[in-house]
Amino acid sequence: MTTVLDSIIDGVREDLAARQEQVPLATIRQQAATQPPALDALQALQTGRTDTAGVRIIAEVKRSSPSKGALAQIADPGALAAAYQAGGASVISVLTEPRRFGGSLDDLAAVRAAVDIPVLRKDFMVEEYQFHEARAYGADLVLLIVAALDDAQLRDFLALTHDLGMNALVEAHTEEEIERAVAVGARIVGVNVRNLKTLDVDVNHYSAMARHLPPELVQVAESGVTGPDQVLDYARQGADAVLVGEALVKHGNPTEAVRSFRAASLAKEAQ
């Protein structure tokens, strides 16, 4: 049976083939090599455990989603990213998949030019070309979705990511996927409470999966955030960082929203 994830990846491959016709791999590799070194996203996210500023927020530039449709216009993604940074975001996530999420590589470039914190290319990474492409457009961090890759791809793509000086947010949804991420040496592992094969969301899924995450990893809670209370809940369950998209782009005051999410997580020790 074809899943939502399968359908998205089919479209990703079609769009990727068209870009490769316009810009060959050798060219995109050269463009990537001219970029300044990637920023250290691992350090930006892992320090959340040791300081008193709350969990790290990965704030997302996200126009639409397969489950909700259009979310926000976002005429100026750079300005939105700058507002997130002003609120205390540690990383900016940029959707670059156009068909279901309304994103683009131009959005990635605009965000990179607007902020001086790490930037995540949020896409469905299935071929080597995309990793050089991410670096060419200024990404410091890429998303690797365990459910979309076999073990050899996951291992090889993680190694390529590190060879290019970037870090990877390795996304899992099940205990088996967490085990696969750990086995290949992932340093940053996210648990997405949205099942990408069905698009169902269960915020309680994070607590069920978090117990399987080794403590030395940077642990990221993804999806399901509607407000500060959910950020606090994830923080209490051990998340070092929380990735938030819809709740930020629809808020109206992104700077204040990020600030409030980080402040809420400071209550994690309170009972």
Out of 65, 97, 133, 171, pick the active-site residue.
171
Relative to beta strand 69-70, strand 64-65 is antiparallel
Out of 64, 90, 93, 122, pick the active-site residue.
122
Out of 167, 222, 246, 268, pick the active-site residue.
222
Whether 171 sits among the annotated catalytic residues: the reply is yes
Q: What is the CB-side half-sphere exposure of residue 47 using CA atoms within 13 A?
A: 10
Whether 122 sits among the annotated catalytic residues: the reply is yes
Retrieve residue 262's tokens: 């980080």
Kind plus residue range of the DSSP H or E element containing 16: helix 4-22
Helices (H) and strands (E) in the chain, counts: 13, 10
Name the amino acid, one letter, at 268.
K
Whether 60 sits among the annotated catalytic residues: the reply is yes
Distance of CA 176 to the CA centre of its chain: 20
Whether 62 sits among the annotated catalytic residues: the reply is yes
Out of 64, 65, 93, 192, pick the active-site residue.
192
Asked if residue 169 lies in contact with residue 143, where contact means CB atoms within 8 angstroms, the answer is yes
Whether 256 sits among the annotated catalytic residues: the reply is no
Question: Which residues share a beta bridge with 61?
Answer: 94
Catalytically annotated residues? 60, 62, 122, 171, 192, 222-223
